[in-house]
Structure formats: structure tokens, C-alpha cells
Amino acid sequence: MDSIGLDPFQQQVSDLLLRHRSVLDISSKYQESNSRVNRAMVKAVTECGCIEVQASRQPFQAEQDLNQVKDSLDTHMVGGLCDHCLDVIKEEMGKNLFYLTAMCNLLDIRLEEVIETESQKLSTLGVFNLR
């Protein structure tokens, strides 16, 4: 499959978005699509069981350097997504990306510029950009 750049994708979203052109519609569809991504991840745990969540308090010792801290932190996820769950989550993420891009279009923001700005911030601040 050929790769598509962000600008052509953004134009494609603009061309295809016929309904939900209101800021309220796009905002609510974006929020709904985000919930569907989260729901698909939960179903991978609770219905399929291909992944498990085993969570506990994250170990953190102030005397460790940042690389040691990073290596000691856990994702709390065990296993890997099965093909079905992976397909569902990717589909829901695609819809989420569609509505994020639609919001960018509505606000006259280039998605590529948002990503470039965030990447520059991450490069500049590095680990001091902890979120």
C-alpha cells in the first residue's frame, strides 16, 4: 500500500466530509470516536482476553536517573492484540484521526504543522516535557 502524506489526507477529509460540518458536530463526533477507541481497547481485555491489564503502583526512586526510571516503569499490559482486536482498534483510530483532521480543516490548521510543532517541542524539551 502506498503511503499518503498528511496534506493529501487532510484534503481528502475535506472533500469527503459532507455531513457534520458544524463545529459542534465535528467536536462531538471527535469525542465519540475517542470513546470508541477506548471501548475497543477495553473489549480486547474484557471480551476477547488477548491482552490483560495487571496494574500496580509504579516504582519510582528519586535517586535513579531518567533512563533507569524509564526502564523500571511498566505498561501494565500483558499479551498482545489478536488480529481481530488490532483491526478494530486501528479502524476506530482511523475514524478518530478523520475527525481530528476535520477539526483542523474547520479551524484552518494544517495537521502536518501541528505534528511538526509538537515534534520540535519534544526535541527541544526532551525529558523535561514529561506529561
CATH superfamily of 7-129: MazG-like (1.10.287.1080)
Top pLDDT among 63 and 10 is at 10
Question: Which among 54, 43, 99, 93 is positioned nearest to 77, based on CA atoms?
Answer: 54
pTM metric for this prediction: 0.82
For the chain, the structural domain boundaries read 7-129
At 98-114, the pLDDT tens digits run: 999 999 999 999 999 99
Q: What is the pLDDT of residue 127?
A: 63
